[in-house]
Structure 1
Amino acid sequence: MDYLYDGSFEGLLTCIYYHYYEEKASGIYPKEHYQASLLAGFKTIETDAKKAARVYEAIERKISNFDLRRIYRVFLSNDGEKENKILNYVRLGFKEGSCISSLHSNPIVFQAQQCEQKVSFEVHRLLGLVRFSVLKYPDELFDFKREILYCILEPDHDVLELIADHFSDRLKNDPFIIYDKTRKKAVFAQGGSWYLSDFQESDLPELSDDEKDFRNLWKEYFETMAIKERINPRCQKRCMPVRYWKNLTEFH
């Protein structure tokens, strides 16, 4: 029996609950993208916060907090089989306990590690690739009038919340928006606190009057600091993949 869920982490944990307390799941899939098969039945599982919390606490208690964080990072990946990789990891974790993270040669653990590493690596990259622009104040977002920092990202994985703490801690005096264009959602931050919300580019205010001047200054700085004799396109593309360039100020 395939279990279908709403795409949320709580929904996935609810499916794992039903896997143990009702019928074993042959697979777990987001209902939005599921293609029914003639060979297997399917059932839509409604998200239940209490059931999800029981699974969450069981993973933390019977496996480890480290593995709980790993499972969540796998969930944030864009892997098409992430739900089933998580289900397999949880099943193995309930058998092996906290030592599961040391079973590097186990295919189930290895696949989860790969997903986690891809997410973590992209987070590391984006912490250095975020470029903020200055926008005029939109009344409905913040409680005092000032300009707002804004950035567009198109990450491979769903990493907004993994970078939010970093920037909200460093920009406590500057409200900002980081927009994930791929997933149509954004981080809104002010005073060291942040939250996630759905967002559309049409909701954006205009650029500030000085923004174009600052962009030109940044491009000049980028070109002036570069040492032409040491330019290495291959290294540049490896450390700063081309897919990120369209959202980097210095390349426009």
Structure 2
Amino acid sequence: MIDIAYTYDGSLEGLLCAIFASYANKEDPTDVVSSTALQARLGQTVREVETDMAVALRVQKGICRRCGPLVFDAVKTASLSDEPHTGSIVYRFVRFAMARHTPHDCTGCPRTMRCGGLCTRNQKNSVLGDLAHPIVAPFQKLNRSVYNERHRMMQFLRFEHLEGDVWFAQCNPAASVVPLVMDWFAGRFNTQAFMIYDEVHHLAGVYEGKDWYLVKTDSLILPERSAEERVMQAAWKRFYDTIAVESRYNPELRRQFMPKRLWKNIVEMKETLPGSEIAL
């Protein structure tokens, strides 16, 4: 048996193309990894898979047709993880799901289409519900970790009002979850323009009042904070520090509920606020 590794560009489309290549070449690669995370073993054959949108769309339709749209949504979510073995885990799950051919069925469930394909209520035959299977278990673990990171971003994103009436938030998530939070924030900002920038994955989600889109960029040139924003940040920081009860300070509990890696983008956790007009 030949030890083969497939590499792709790290995107969902690239991963789908790698899955297609495994079927087309009649191969079962040992590893499916992004090109930046590859650590080839001695004697391992490496095949680089080019991203082709037409091929990726073909695989997407095939998964939706054979396994159901919720299974593909789960594949899409899991692919956003930063875990180094994400590609291999998703690849093995797709092969398993396609072989099982059991679409996720929400018939009769009160949570229809709102579980993200993760719940197992009334869905005993769903491949997503086979949580004890050694292929499904790590896949669902990836899914949960991505959704947990999405939830953290919904909690801890802090928007700033910039000149030009634009709201801006910067984050450093442990998974590329900006695509998963844009709909949620767009529904709440309604017609107000905003931008969320992921400084880890160099990805910006931009909403202009009607639709949102993603932009891949390594740097941003932003307007200055508005005068009102500088005043409000300083006031919020002072309020946060004032209501703190020193005798109940518990740094371990704080880090548990508010991961320290996120603090640099949270206003109340900054030591100083650059450009503030109010002394702290």
TM-score when normalising by structure 1? 0.89
Per the TM alignment, residue 186 of structure 1 is displaced from its structure 2 partner at its CA by 0.8
Rate the CA distance shift 1:216–1:32 in 2: closer, same or farther, 3 A: same
Check the 8 A contact 1:172/1:190 in 2, yes or no: no
Question: Does the C-alpha gap of structure 1 residues 13 and 150 become closer, same or farther in structure 2, counting only changes over 3 Å?
Answer: same
Instruction: Write out per-residue CA displacement over residues 51-100 of structure 1, whole angstroms, 9 at most, x where no aligned residue.
Output: 22221111112112222111111100001011110111011111222321
Letter in 1 for 2:151: H
2:278 aligns with none
After TM superposition, the structure 1 stretch with the greater mean CA deviation from structure 2, 100-109 or 150-159, is: 100-109
- Aligned-pair distance for 1:170? 0.7
One-letter amino acid of the structure 2 residue matched with residue 92 of structure 1: F
Matched letter for residue 135 of structure 1: L
Aligned twin of 1:131: 158
SS in 2 for 1:55: helix
Q: Which amino acid aligns with 2:27?
A: K
Deviation by residue 1:184-225 (Cα, 9 ceiling, x = unmatched): 221111214211102344412222222221101111332344
Counterpart in the other structure of 2:225: 207
Corresponding position of 1:105: 132
Q: Which structure 2 residue ranges, 5 or more long, are not aligned? A: 104-125, 271-280
Residue 202 of structure 2 corresponds to residue 176 of structure 1: no
1:198 aligns with 2:216: yes
1:8 aligns with 2:11: yes
Aligned mates of 1:250, 1:38 — CA distance in 2: 50
Distance in structure 2 (CA, Å) of the matches to 1:13 and 1:199 = 23
Once the two structures are TM-superposed, the CA of residue 154 in structure 1 deviates from its matched residue by 0.4
Letter in 2 for 1:176: F
C-alpha displacement of 1:2: 2.1
Q: Which of the numbers 231, 234, 237 marks the counterpart of 2:252?
A: 234
> Which amino acid counterpart does residue 58 of structure 1 have in structure 2?
G
Secondary structure of 1:23's counterpart equals coil
Q: Deviations over 1:5-41 (max 9, x none)?
A: 2222112111111211223141222224434444122
2:112 counterpart of 1:86: no
Which residue of the partner structure matches residue 21 of structure 1?
24
* Residue equivalent to 2:44: 40
- Match of 1:210, SS state, is helix
> How many corresponding residue pairs?
243
How many angstroms apart in 2 are the aligned matches of 1:63 and 1:202?
A: 40
TM-score relative to the length of structure 2: 0.80
Question: Per the alignment, do residues 95 and 250 of structure 1 end up closer, same or farther by CA in structure 2, a change over 3 Å counting?
Answer: same
CA 1:208/1:87 → structure 2, altered by over 3 Å: closer, same or farther? same
Cα distance between partner residues in 2 of 1:30 and 1:237: 31
- What letter matches 2:25 in structure 1? E
Assess, with a 3 A threshold, how the Cα gap between structure 1 residues 202 and 62 changes in structure 2: closer, same or farther. closer
Q: Who is 1:95 aligned against?
A: 99
1:119 aligned residue (146, 162, 165): 146
The one of 77, 88, 93 equivalent to 2:81 is 77
Counterpart of 1:246 in structure 2: which amino acid? K
